Amino acid sequence: MLRLIPIYILVLCLAGCSSQGERDPVLGEAHVGPATLQIRKELTAGADVAATVKHGEQVDIIGKRRRFYKVRTSSGAEGWLDGRMLLSTEDMEDLRDIADRSSKAPSQGKATVFDPLNVHTVANRQSPSFFQVTPGMHIDVIAHERSPRVPFQSHEFVKAPLKPEPPRKPKKMSEAKIPPPPAGPAPALPENWLELSGRGGDPEPDSGVLAEAQTKEAEEKKPVHPMDEWALIRTQDGRAGWVLSRNLLMSIPDEVAQYAERARIAAYFQLGSVSDQGKERPVWLWAALSERGAAHDFDSLRIFTWSVKRHRYETSFIERGVKGHLPITLDKGAGGAVNGFKVVVEEKTGAVVERDYSLQGYRARITGRKECALPPGWLPEKKEEQAPAEVKEAPALSWKDRAKGWMEAVKAKIKR
């Protein structure tokens, strides 16, 4: 037994000299938001890069400073990154859910871009961008939504422990040696006090009316955030995300798009074609929005058909002043020919109906109405986040537990 003591001492010395120290405990987990993200070894801009991770990779959180997190990758690399670039498990589920929903939704037209365009995980300018749309790519536009331009609030993965502040001792008030003189009588009101108050002799308003007026005034003073118009897009490989609508160029020919003037084309469809001098000219239906910041998706419907006599596009059907909501669905018959289309609109009475339009030639007329509900929105509902677990300090290990851990580490190294 005595012969084994020097061996244990040698093993403990080797373990103590090991370059691998005790690892920080895992406080939570998160997923990488951007397409690629660099993890820095230190919390400075010029620090060396510890690792580069990709969108969707899971990382373990082992520390926090303000909005920055210290993470550990699956390969064991540790470093710091901005917490706004991380997604929670619920965020990843929402992203997969919106991709699944958009794969089943009808396309509202093709679009392209002039310059590389970031695609965001949510409809917020500061949210992570997990891929880009490059010039030449044709993407499907699925829906349009309006979202307030507010700072991006990322998920709080770890709540730093708060040290209780020591109780403050009450200050001892020094007793005045000489008591203050007694207060004199209050001055009398002037005779024209009603005129000075601005009421001009009107009776005092009711307290309920005054409280309502004060509440209304407080609501009016609340900051009004500008609204951004976003488009949900879908790529050919099934990815879906959010882009600013003003950066998209709908792939409808310029011969037709020139008539939009300042209106934004929300959706367009090809209804058929007209043959002129041996060349097929498509017939287009579009839905456009001329009012910025409206709560609906489009306010006009228009069909453009090719005139064989004048060799140009002319309007065969137009309807203005509608409050329409996407999606617009085409009614196709045998052979893929379009017989009509369906649109969800808000009537002047406030009722929401689905209109059936049938085509006679390339002129549309309403053939049916039925009440319906507004199409479901695409923006994820805000969920009440549970309070993150507080960081608890790891209990101090005894010398026996440390020795046991060193022995296991040495055995693992010997087995390698």
pLDDT tier for residue 397 given thresholds of 50, 70 and 90: low
The reply to whether 355 and 317 lie within a common domain is yes
Region 356-379: what's the mean pLDDT?
Answer: 93
Residue with token string 């939504």: 145
Of 187-191, 273-277, 349-353, the one with minimum mean pLDDT is: 187-191
- Using the CB atoms, write b or e for 23-40: b if 16+ within 10 Å: eeeebbebbbbbeebebb
Region 258-268: what's the mean pLDDT?
Answer: 92
> Which of 219, 251, 283 is at the close of a domain?
251
The reply to whether 243 and 120 lie within a common domain is yes
**Does 409 reside within a domain?**
no
At 302, which CATH number?
A: 2.40.128
CB atoms within 10 A of CB 272: 17
Kindly tell me if the per-residue pLDDT of 21 is higher than 60.
no
Instruction: Kindly report, residue by residue over 223-236, the tens digit of the pLDDT.
Output: 678 899 999 999 99
Residue 144: both structure tokens together: 């349009």
> Which of 87, 118, 134 is at the close of a domain?
87
**Does 207 reside within a domain?**
no
**Which residues, at least 6 apart from 324, have a Cβ–Cβ distance to it below 8 Å?**
287, 296, 297, 298, 299, 301, 343, 344, 345
- What is the C-alpha radius of gyration for the chain, rounded to an integer number of angstroms? 34
Residue with token string 């045998």: 334
Instruction: Kindly report, residue by residue over 203-221, the tens digit of the pLDDT.
Output: 555 556 556 666 666 666 6
pLDDT tier for residue 407 given thresholds of 50, 70 and 90: confident
Kindly tell me if the per-residue pLDDT of 284 is higher than 70.
yes
The reply to whether 268 and 327 lie within a common domain is yes
- pLDDT at position 50: 93
3-state SS, 31-56, equals EECCCEEEEECCCCCCCCEEEEEECC
Nearest alpha carbon to residue 244 among 111, 102, 345: 111
- The pLDDT mean for the chain works out to 83
The reply to whether 238 and 318 lie within a common domain is no
**Does 62 reside within a domain?**
yes
At 49, which CATH number?
A: 2.30.30.40
The reply to whether 275 and 137 lie within a common domain is no
CB atoms within 10 A of CB 343: 22
Instruction: Kindly report, residue by residue over 154-185, the tens digit of the pLDDT.
Output: 888 876 554 455 666 666 666 656 777 888 88
Distance of CA 212 to the CA centre of its chain: 35
Instruction: Kindly report, residue by residue over 31-86, the tens digit of the pLDDT.
Output: 999 999 999 999 887 899 999 999 999 999 999 988 899 999 999 999 999 999 99
The reply to whether 232 and 99 lie within a common domain is yes
Kindly tell me if the per-residue pLDDT of 288 is higher than 50.
yes
Kindly tell me if the per-residue pLDDT of 387 is higher than 60.
no
The reply to whether 244 and 356 lie within a common domain is no
Residue 363: both structure tokens together: 């002129």
The reply to whether 36 and 81 lie within a common domain is yes
Nearest alpha carbon to residue 53 among 68, 31, 70: 31
**Does 15 reside within a domain?**
no
Region 379-404: what's the mean pLDDT?
Answer: 58
The reply to whether 109 and 56 lie within a common domain is no
**Which residues, at least 6 apart from 187, have a Cβ–Cβ distance to it below 8 Å?**
none
**Does 399 reside within a domain?**
no
Domain carrying residue 325: 252-374
Looking at the chain, the whole-number percentage of residues with pLDDT higher than 70 is 76
Using CA atoms, how far residue 340 sits from 88, 326, 365, in Å, is 44, 16, 9
**Does 35 reside within a domain?**
yes
Kindly tell me if the per-residue pLDDT of 200 is higher than 60.
no
Kindly tell me if the per-residue pLDDT of 382 is higher than 90.
no
- pLDDT at position 110: 96
The reply to whether 93 and 43 lie within a common domain is no
The residues that bridge with 331 in the sheet, in sequence order, are 340
Instruction: Kindly report, residue by residue over 89-117, the tens digit of the pLDDT.
Output: 999 999 999 999 999 999 999 999 999 99
- Using the CB atoms, write b or e for 179-191: b if 16+ within 10 Å: eeeeeeeeeeeee
- pLDDT at position 162: 44
pLDDT tier for residue 285 given thresholds of 50, 70 and 90: very high
Query: DSSP for 270-323?
Result: EEEEEEETTEEEEEEEEEEE-STT-SSSEEEEEEEEEETTTTEEEEEEEEEEEE
Domain total for the chain? 3
The reply to whether 245 and 284 lie within a common domain is no
**Does 384 reside within a domain?**
no
Region 247-266: what's the mean pLDDT?
Answer: 92
> Which of 53, 72, 87 is at the close of a domain?
87
- pLDDT at position 385: 46
The reply to whether 137 and 237 lie within a common domain is yes
Looking at the chain, the whole-number percentage of residues with pLDDT higher than 90 is 59
Q: What are the strands, taking DSSP E only, across 73-149?
A: 78-82, 86-87, 110-112, 117-120, 129-133, 139-148
Kindly tell me if the per-residue pLDDT of 394 is higher than 50.
no
**Does 69 reside within a domain?**
yes
